[in-house]
Structure 1
Amino acid sequence: MNAKEISLEEKQVKPIVDQLNDLLANYHVHYQKLRGCHWNVKGSHFFTLHVKFEELYVNAQITIDELAERILTLGKPPHSTFSEYLKVSQIKEINTVGMKDTDMVLSIMDDFSTLIEMEREIMSTTADAGDDGTNDLINKFMQFKEKNNWMLRSFIGKN
């Protein structure tokens, strides 16, 4: 398949795919961080956060799949190794064992901010290229994180 099949120019698709692969890498590290938070959360907020972290990692897993499929739709291969993800990801791994529950929340909020910033940049690129399909997809991802970042800020009293 080539980009022409979906009415996009090849020269416009490459920067979009590069940005999507960077986002995909960041989502993989973010996903694993959420899993670690889910597994290792302790304390008086256990029941609330255990469920919330699971909701967030399930959403991240779906997002990862949709990102990879969009990259393939654009006619390119998605990154698919952890060495690639770790090399390009702005989001860094953390050890969640023994981590305070509110520090977990703050770390996830930082991830959300990083991902939202990346998504805004992608939406600018896709708008310039006329790639409404990618733009709509990324906008949906961003809205989910914006809402959940607000909820997490409220949870820890940072409003």
Structure 2
Amino acid sequence: MKLINKLNIFLADQQIFYVKLHNLHWYLVGGSFFTLHAKFEELYNQTAGVVDDVAERILALGGKPVGSTKKALELTGVTELDDLKISGQEAIKVLLTDVKAFNEASKEIRSLAAEEGDGVTEDQFNNYVGAYEKLIWMLEAYLEK
């Protein structure tokens, strides 16, 4: 099923993104540390919820969710970070790239779910699109000079 395959790629992306957010949280340096450190924690907690919700949706559809890091790394389009210090500006740029990709993937999954008559998955990913669009706006506002 094409939808389950797309959901598993999205799930793999979220799993690796969860780790990446921890990297940003731990290696962040600079004047925006306190603000962004807290924001990255908020985002990785939200991402944990997305991981669980998407995996459970895959199960509800009769599929098998990606449950190993090895398989997630084979499927993901998310680029991992090295364990190096990163400034707030660079961290937000990295984050923005991933969030834009997740937004596009969410739109694609939403459309595919609609084509397959799966209103539940369509609604779930419509909510993700709204959340990602808001986050994109906020991240872009942060980067403005």
Please tell me the TM-score bracket, short chain as reference. over 0.9
2:50 to 38, 60, 63: 63
Q: Could you say which residue in structure 2 is the equivalent of 1:154?
A: 141
Q: Which 5+ residue runs of structure 2 have no aligned equivalent?
A: none
Give me the whole-angstrom Cα distance separating, in 2, the residues matched to 1:78 and 1:21. Answer: 6
Moved more, 115-124 or 65-74: 115-124
Residue identity opposite 2:32 in structure 1: H
Give me the whole-angstrom Cα distance separating, in 2, the residues matched to 1:102 and 1:73. Answer: 40
Residue identity opposite 1:67 in structure 2: V
Tell me the TM-score normalized by structure 2.
0.96
Give me the whole-angstrom Cα distance separating, in 1, the residues matched to 2:47 and 2:134. Answer: 14
1:3-152 to structure 2, matched below 5 A, reads 14-152=1-139
Residue identity opposite 1:88 in structure 2: L
User: 1:144: how far off?
Assistant: 1.1
Moved more, 18-27 or 143-152: 143-152
Tell me the TM-score normalized by structure 1.
0.88
* Number of positions where the alignment pairs a residue of Structure 1 with one of Structure 2: 145
C-alpha change, 1:96 and 1:145, in structure 2 (3 Å) is farther
Structure index of larger Rg? 1
Moved more, 47-56 or 137-146: 137-146
**8 Å Cα contact 1:43-1:101 kept in structure 2:** yes
- SS of structure 2 residue aligned to 1:97: coil
Moved over 3 A (4+): none
Residue identity opposite 1:86 in structure 2: L
Residue identity opposite 1:120 in structure 2: K
Q: CA RMSD of the aligned region, Å? A: 1.1
Residue identity opposite 1:35 in structure 2: H
